[in-house]
Every structure is written in structure tokens, then in C-alpha cells.
Amino acid sequence: MKVVARILVTEEIADGGLDRLRAAGHEVDVQLDLTQLFTHVVGAHALIIRSATQVTAELLDVATELMVVGRAGIGLDNVDVPAATRRGVMVVNAPQSNIVSAAEHTMALLLAQARNVPQAHAALKAGRWERTRWEGVELADKTLGIVGLGRIGKLVADRAKAFGMRLVAYDPFISVERARQMGVELVSLDQLVLEADFLTVHLPKTKETTGLIGRDLLLKAKPSLRVINVARGGIVDEQALADAIRDGVIAGAAIDVFATEPTTESPLFGLDSVVVTPHLGASTREAQDKAGETIADMVQLALAGDFVPFAVNVDAAEANETLRPYLPLAERLGRLFSSLVGRSPSVLEICTEGDIAGYDTRIVALAALKGFFGAISEEPVTYVNAPQQAKDRGVEVRETSSATAADFVNVLTIRGGGRSISGAMVGRRGEQRIIEIDDHHFDVPPADHMLMVKNDDRPGVIGLVGTLLGDAGVNIADMDVGRADEPGTAVMLIAPTDVVPEAVIEALRRAPGIISVDALVG
Ligand code: NAD
Ligand code: MLT
């Protein structure tokens, strides 16, 4: 589905990604003046940012059309993700785009700090040949303490190993086994600071990590310790770090990120044994190209209502090639079921049967909820806020699965309030079929409007239905007729080509031999 949207871009993003969005027909509105953010965001369907744009709950209140926030990079500390989730706004990032650049920048700072490269460079350019003053230290056989052994922490470990460094790490969320595979020994933070000659930070900035590397911890360090931070400003307390270096408690630091950015003032800037860069970790052509392209792809998928692999506030695993074709079917069944049941049932069961049950099918259940609540909600319902919609309406969602499916490879069923609908995909082209409603078996492709008619099982009733619809100018595209469980009762599922006017449905309900008519909207 091609959706033409207004995409607001508030920070420098590589052209490749933006061109892709323009080529898809979207209006790309680049507005870098962040003082006007609240004005520019009005009417935007997507917002693409880096680390400087603060996406607060207040901004989201103003951005009533917003469907997706795309963070061209990793850190999400500038985005109020819970507030976005409440509003149904998807938040996506580009988690792999700049990890190599950030790890390489860490190594650049590690070496620059160890060998005083910037200081010696500046002195020589200023006309001073200072060979003795800028003596450094080797990395080989030194201990590197990695705080946060995630994506970037691991890449730094790989690179530091090549320099002959001994590696220890603090990360309570990584198993000892996984760390061992990386050649890293897991230790407590206190132990890491006691042992480390270099300490490098690769944590997300959260309430727990802000100020984690502070005065008390630094007082436990060896005087030879050098601290590197290419993660987020504020995880290392800048004033405590500056005090520790000035007082000789530790040897130095190399810092890429600051508590307030942009900044030209920090207690660290006046110290000779400190190397600084202005948040350059991801500033390579490769990282920016990758971040721009990834975020453009993610934003396009989000605008089209498709599954977005790098969405951070969608409660599901990635949709693989097996599950992906079932998402439109699940959404369609959700919509049809909402008109079949006609209200929010107290329990909504979403059942997957067959091969797909072997996968993490949360995304299929989300698609069914998106369809169901999207059909009855005033607000746009997305993969993000569909579970919240269920909670708000007091609907308990139950996901069940079974490895076997009778007659079909895979079957999706939605049940609740005493009603049910099942669908499957058939044939080489994977065509959708409604295969069961309320235990009546059918074989009809789903349509935007459908009628399920229960009638006396006697000659002439099917003709009567056809005549009533025909007289109203309604053509029948597909239809299946079967016997209902009750003796003497038949049931038909009709997919008309158009909406059946309410008056015609009423006439059908009153017609002789007709027991009930359900009008479904898909
Ligand atoms: P990641 O999520 O892959 O890894 C973070 C690690 O920190 C995880 O292993 C996690 O278990 C650990 N962790 C989380 N909370 C912790 C805590 N309280 N104590 C100890 N460990 C904890 O993240 P990543 O992709 O490696 O990114 C790391 C940081 O680098 C992020 O802050 C990101 O924003 C930043 N970053 C900066 C730049 C730059 O330009 N300077 C570029 C890219 C990423
Ligand atoms: C990130 O978190 O991805 C980096 O800090 C780079 C950026 O801000 O763009």
C-alpha cells in the first residue's frame, strides 16, 4: 500500500534515505530549527530525528497526526517511548547502523588518550616539539573494563583483544557463558574499577545508569585508570571525573558525549590529560548512510501499517517469512469478527493452529487485535496500541496454539462472546479463505462486506436471497452453502461485490424461511 505522508525531519540525515522517501511520493519537510519544533510537528505523519530532538509527551500531544517517530541511530533517551506507546505512535530506531562506527571511535579515543595524540598534534602545530611531555602508555597487557557488554561493548572487546588487552566487563544482563564466548570475564562494577587500566562505557542512559560512574566509584580506581565514554553524557559524572583527574586519583579520560549537548563548556575541557570530541561516535559516512536508509525503510513500513522489524514499542518478535503472509489475514479476521460479535467480549481468544504455532506468533495476535479494535475505535489502532485498546476496554486477550490443524496447513481462529471465525491460506499463491464461522464450514475468500444467512433448509430459499440482493442491484462475487448443525437448517456465506444497503438486510431478515442474517464488515 502506498501512503503519501508528510515526514518532518528535524536533524541532519543522509540524503540516500530521504531521497528514498521522496521517491515513494512522501513529502519530506526538513526543518532543522528545533525552537520551532512544536509548530512544525503539527500535521506531520512521521518525525525523523537524531539525538537532539526531544520527543516529549507534550510534543506528542500537539502531534495529533503522528504515526511514527524514526530515530536515525540507537539511543532513545530523547524519546518518551511510554508516552508514544500510549498514543499509538510507533517508535523505531536503527540499532545496527552505527555500532561499528561507535566501536571504532572508542578505539580511536582509547589510543588517542593512551598516546596523547591530540595534545602532541596541537603542540607541534603551534610550533612546539614536545617529545618528553607527551609520553604515553601501551595498551598491550593492560586491563580494559567494559561497562555494558551489548552490541558496541562486544565490538570493542573484539578490537581490544587484537591489541593484547585483558578484558573484564560489568553487565548484569549478560550470562557468564556468553561473556566467556567473547573472551571476557564478568565482574562486579567495584571489582572492574579496582582492576581496570582503561574503563569504557557502553550503556544506555537510564535512571539506573545516570551518574553510575561517579566520585565514590572513581575513588576506588588505580591512579593509572583512564575513562572512555562514547555512550551517553551523564552516565559518567563530568564534574566528579574532572575532579578525579585534577587530583591525580585517575590518569585521564576521553569523552565523546556530554550531559548537555551541544556544549562548549565542561570542567573537563581545561585538563591536559583529557581528549574530547563533539559526539562523533556515529559520524562516519557509512554509519550515516546506513542509519538514513534503515530509518527510511522503517518509517515507510510504519506508514503503510506493515510490520516494522526495528519498532521498539511493539510487543512481538520479528515477523519471519512464514508468519508475515498471515498478518493481513489475521487483521482481516479481526475486522470481520468485530462486526460478527458486535461488542467487546470479556475474553478474546486468538488461536494459531498448524506449523505456524511453532513460531513466536505474538505478531499474528497483534495483527488480529489491530483489525478488531481498529474496526470499533475512533483512534487509529496500530501494532503499538492494540494491546492497550484491549486493556482499556477490559478485554482479556488469550493466545492459544496447537501444532496440528485439521484440513489446512495453518488456521487462525478468533473466538469470543460465543462466536468464532477461522481463516486459512490456500493454494500456491496463498489466497485467503474464510473456512469457518460459528462452527459452520465454508470456503469463501474474505471480502469488505459479507453476509452470513441462516435459513430453513428447503428449496427456493437460496433463490429468494439471490432475488432480494439482485433486485437491490447487489451482485454476488462468492458464495458457499452448507448445512447447519440444527436439523432442517442451512447456512450460507455470501461475499457481495458491494455494500448491501441496511434496508435490504432488514428485508432479508423478514423474508420467509430466513432465520438470521449477520452482516460482516472486513
Ligand atoms: P546495547 O543495548 O546493545 O547494549 C547495552 C548493554 O548495557 C546491554 O548489554 C545491557 O545489558 C547493558 N545494561 C543495561 N543497563 C545496565 C545497567 N544498569 N548496568 C549494567 N549494564 C547495563 O546498546 P549499544 O547499541 O551497544 O549502545 C550502547 C550505548 O552507545 C547507547 O547509550 C547508545 O545510545 C550509545 N551510542 C553512542 C554513539 C555515539 O555517537 N557516541 C553511537 C552509537 C551508540
Ligand atoms: C546514537 O545513539 O545512535 C548515537 O548517539 C548517534 C546519534 O546520536 O545519531
Asked, for residue 318, whether it belongs to a domain, the answer is no
Q: Catalytic residue at 58?
A: no
Asked whether residue 159 falls in the same domain as residue 230, the answer is yes
Nearest to 253 by CA among 240, 239, 241: 241
Q: Please check whether residues 25 and 156 belong to one and the same domain.
A: no
Say whether both 85 and 161 belong to one domain. no
226 shares its domain with 118: yes
Total of domains in the chain: 3
For 155, list phi and psi in degrees, rounded to 5: -65, -35
**Ligand 2 midpoint to CA 50 (Å):** 6
Ligand 1 atom with the shortest distance to the CA of 73: 43
Judge whether 235 and 189 are in contact, CB under 8 Å: no
CA distance 263 to 255: 13
Any atom of ligand 1 within 6 Å of the Cβ of 203: yes
Q: What are phi and psi of 265, to 5 degrees?
A: -130, 130
Same-domain check for residues 516 and 477:
yes
Ligand that lies nearest to the alpha carbon of residue 105, given by its number in the listed order: 1
The CATH number for 257's domain is 3.40.50.720
Residue 306 near residue 122, CB atoms below 8 Å: no
If asked whether residues 475 and 351 sit together in one domain, one would say: yes
Active-site option among 58, 65, 135, 261: 261
**237 CA from centroid of ligand 2 (Å):** 19
Domain boundary among 268, 303, 338: 303
Would you say residue 313 lies in a domain? no
Q: Is the CB of 231 under 6 A from ligand 1?
A: yes
Pairwise CA distance, residues 276 & 274, whole Å: 6
Residue 420 lies in a domain: yes
Cβ of 151 less than 6 Å from ligand 1: yes
Same domain for 216 and 296?
A: no
Instruction: Tell whether ligand 1 has an atom less than 6 A from the beta carbon of residue 446.
Output: no
Please, which residues have CB within 8 angstroms of residue 443's CB and are 6 or more apart in sequence? 433, 434, 435, 480
Instruction: Give the domain CATH number at 392.
Output: 3.30.1330.90
Alpha-carbon distance values, 413 to 166, 245, 334, 366, 484 (Å): 55, 64, 9, 13, 19
Number of neighbours of residue 435 by Cβ within 10 angstroms:
23
Rounded to 5 degrees, φ, ψ at 425 are: -115, 135
The pLDDT of residue 2 is: 54
| Statement to judge: residues 107 and 87 lie in one domain | no
Give the number of C-alpha atoms closer than 13 A to the C-alpha of residue 342, restricted to the C-beta side.
5
DSSP letter, residue 260:
S
What pLDDT score does 382 carry?
A: 86
Cα distances (Å, whole numbers) of residue 47 to 31, 42, 50, 295, 297: 11, 11, 10, 11, 13
The residue behind cell 506531520 is: 44
Does the active-site annotation cover 20? no
* Residue 195 belongs to a domain: yes
CA 149 remoteness from chain centre: 22
Residue 438 vs residues 349, 411, 503, 513: alpha-carbon distances, Å? 14, 15, 25, 20
Helix (H, G, I), strand (E, B) or coil at 281: coil
In a domain, 43, yes or no: yes
- Tell me, what's the pLDDT at 3? 55
Q: 140 and 24, same structural domain?
A: no
Grid-cell match 556468553, residue found? 178
Grid-cell match 470456503, residue found? 443
What range defines the domain where residue 147 resides? Answer: 99-276
DSSP collapsed to 3 states, 132-193: CCCCCCCCCCCEEEEECCCHHHHHHHHHHHHCCCEEEEECCCCCHHHHHHCCCEECCHHHHH
The Cα-based distances of 181 to 185, 364, 513 in angstroms read: 10, 34, 73
> Is residue 315 in some structural domain?
no
Catalytic position from the list 232, 332, 433, 449: 232
Q: Which of 45, 279, 332, 433 is catalytic?
A: 279
Atom in ligand 1 nearest the alpha carbon of residue 174: 11
Per-residue pLDDT of the chain (522 residues; tens, 9 = 90+): 455 899 999 999 999 999 999 999 999 999 999 999 999 999 999 999 999 999 999 999 999 999 999 999 999 999 999 999 888 899 999 999 999 999 999 999 999 999 999 999 999 999 999 999 999 999 999 999 999 999 999 999 999 999 999 999 999 998 999 999 999 999 999 999 999 999 999 999 999 999 999 999 999 999 999 999 999 999 999 999 999 999 999 999 999 999 999 999 999 999 999 999 999 999 999 999 999 999 999 999 999 888 888 999 988 777 788 888 999 999 999 999 999 999 899 999 999 999 999 999 999 999 999 999 999 988 778 899 899 899 989 999 999 999 988 889 999 999 999 999 999 999 989 999 999 999 899 999 999 999 999 999 888 999 999 999 999 899 999 999 988 888 889 999 999 988 899 999 999 999 999 999 999 999
Given a contact cutoff of 8 angstroms between Cβ atoms, the answer to whether 517 and 468 are in contact is: no
Grid coordinates representing 75 are: 539511543
Does the beta carbon of 282 lie inside 6 Å of ligand 2?
yes
Same domain for 92 and 103, yes or no, is no
Nearest-angstrom CA–CA distance, 295 and 53: 16
Q: Give residue 72 CA to ligand 2 midpoint distance, Å.
A: 7
Residue with cell 598491550: 140
The reply to whether 105 and 83 lie within a common domain is no
Would the CB of 104 count as within 6 Å of ligand 1? no
pLDDT score, position 320: 83
Residue 316 belongs to a domain: no
Question: Phi and psi at residue 145, in whole multiples of 5°?
Answer: -100, 120
Ligand index nearest the alpha carbon of residue 11: 2
Find out whether 15 and 52 touch, Cβ atoms under 8 Å.
no
Task: Please tell me the total number of residues recorded for the chain in this structure.
Answer: 522
Based on the fold, state whether residues 18 and 118 are members of the same structural domain: no
46 in any annotated domain:
yes
Question: Is 440 a residue of the active site?
Answer: no
Cβ(234) to ligand 1 under 6 A? no
Query: What does the radius of gyration of the chain's CA atoms come to, in whole angstroms?
Result: 30
